[in-house]
Structure 1
Amino acid sequence: MMFDRGIELKTPEQITTMRAAGLVVGRTLELLRREVRAGMTTAELDAMAHEHIRSQGATSNFLGYGAHGPAGAGGFAGVICTSVNDEVVHGVPGSRVLRDGDIISIDCGAIVDGWHGDAAITVAIGGVPPEVSALLEVTEDSMWAGIAAAALGGRVGDISHAIETAVDAAGDFGIVEGYTGHGIGSQMHQPPDVPNYGKPRRGPKLVQGLALAVEPMVTLGSAATRTLADDWTVVTNDGSWAAHFENTFTLTPTGTWVLTALDGGRERLAALGVPYGGH
């Protein structure tokens, strides 16, 4: 069912299928969090994710994304994005060897019966300086602040404003503005955009059946970015390191349901005083 501005609303049954896709994504990310280590290539990490998604009876929504032309030229070459250190998003898995002290954003998606899930984590490999640990914490906390700000009858801008407020309150960090969260459902990327900054009570209304992927990208320096020659990998202009966290969630009559979190978001939502709306 289509809502205002081409926004897709899902039935409860379709949301349940999105939860199945979200669990595949969540389990894959937890596997990769456990297994990623220095000496591994990003291609090896991608192969592990590919096998796990397939073993769950799901398919990847990243592999081949953006393909065009009769041969599908230009499609994304992995089932995960692997963005290391100053790479913000859309890093392509390949021969890069991970080192102790690196951080890596792992972005993953899956499809179950035509419905999508999408989430990301950033992981430190070995020891990192305190400011890098703070970057990861601030980015993840701002994602949860955005999700917690969502309520039926509210607006997308409430999410955006909460993310910006959380990052600004934490110190001198940059918020990447050129890439946003998004609607999600029968396609991975749908209206509406969910910016990581903005004013509250603006934008499309938050209604039952809407599913959103919230994904702040935060830097230790300037938030200005550029895209590398592979036409995918986005890096900071000044070489400062970046973190990226993402979850897919929906709102039900009883509260918030984080479809890509293994516990549905219960723990973090409870800590923020937000009612859980899953089952």
Structure 2
Amino acid sequence: MNVPIKTSDEIEKMREAGRQAASVFEMLAPHVQAGVSTGKLDRLCHDYIVHELGSTPAPLNYHGFPKSICTSLNHVVCHGIPDEGKKLKNGDIMNVDITVKTADGYHGDSSMMFVIGESIQGERLSRVTQECLYKSIALVKPGVRLSELARAIQRHAEANGYSVVRDFCGHGIGAGFHEDPQFLHYDGYAPEADIALAEGMCFTIEPMINVGGYRTKVLRDGWTAVTKDKSLSAQWEHTLLVTADGVEVLTARGDEDLSFLRS
């Protein structure tokens, strides 16, 4: 397995990519409300990334993906395709997944949940899924193995009665959208894949957590992954840099409380 270690110059480029990805969410958040189509959200993000940031939405045309962001509603696990005819309604939950490719060619990848109106079940699922992400991030430092991060996610999800999706994973990131290593969000590592983290590694953690079972299926469009039992699913994601003594969250948003990293 060839896991890239970023140079100081590459780290600065990754910081800029992460900052840009976070800024897209900060622009988008006020527009996410009942009655707005996922297609409109896609257009807003596309225009902002291209015209305001001078960058490229990495998902657009990636292996044929037709849109600039992913919008995954309710029982959609990931890779939902924005649609002008799909309007948000009260009680929906939605994951928006955004990856910016900067003019320098580096990627910032992040996703977050939105709860439209009120959904007690959806709000709890979203909160627990974000806690899974944070518990895993808090362990990141040189020498820690991927399986330790995965166990933190799985333990917290299952303690709350939820399941962890097995079919999709986190990944290394840099000049490549998807690089080594692959990061499973559950404890299913073969020994040779359970690598130790090292300073200068960049990768994503992006747990997908379901109310029901963990099994998924991909619809006939070839992209949209849904829960087989049609239960709700949630996901949160950040791009991370392993530092000498811990972790830097490259895609951190201004509204996030990451004080747990300083405790």
TM-score by length of 2: 0.93
Whether 1:243 and 2:240 are equivalent positions in the alignment is no
Quote the residue 2:77 is aligned against. 88
Deviation digits for residues 16-60 of structure 1, max 9, x if unmatched? 111111111111122222211111111100000001111112111
Whether 1:58 and 2:55 are equivalent positions in the alignment is yes
Whether 1:33 and 2:24 are equivalent positions in the alignment is no
Whether 1:256 and 2:253 are equivalent positions in the alignment is no
The one-letter amino acid paired with 1:101 is: G
Matched residues, number: 258
Q: Which residue among 161, 178, 184 is the counterpart of 1:189?
A: 178
Q: Is the 8 A contact 1:21 1:58 kept in 2?
A: no
Whether 1:138 and 2:128 are equivalent positions in the alignment is yes
Using a 3 Å threshold, how does the CA distance of structure 1 residues 60 and 102 change in structure 2: closer, same or farther?
A: same
Aligned 1:207-222 pairs, distance under 5 A: 207-222=198-213
Q: Which residue among 212, 217, 234 is the counterpart of 1:226?
A: 217
| Structure 1 position 272, deviation (Å) | 4.9
| In structure 2, C-alpha distance between the alignment counterparts of 1:187 and 1:60, rounded to whole Å | 14
TM-score by length of 1: 0.88
**Bigger shift: 28-37 or 38-47?**
28-37
Identity over the aligned pairs, expressed in percent?
34
| Structure 1 position 201, deviation (Å) | 11
| In structure 1, C-alpha distance between the alignment counterparts of 2:187 and 2:158, rounded to whole Å | 12
**Bigger shift: 196-205 or 33-42?**
196-205
| In structure 1, C-alpha distance between the alignment counterparts of 2:75 and 2:205, rounded to whole Å | 21
Whether 1:158 and 2:155 are equivalent positions in the alignment is no
- How much is the aligned-residue C-alpha RMSD, in angstroms? 1.8
SS at match of 1:101: coil
SS at match of 2:35: coil
Ranges in structure 2 where 5+ consecutive residues have no aligned partner: none
The one-letter amino acid paired with 2:185 is: N
Q: Is the 8 A contact 2:206 2:238 kept in 1?
A: yes
| In structure 2, C-alpha distance between the alignment counterparts of 1:257 and 1:29, rounded to whole Å | 19
Moved over 4 A (4+): 199-202
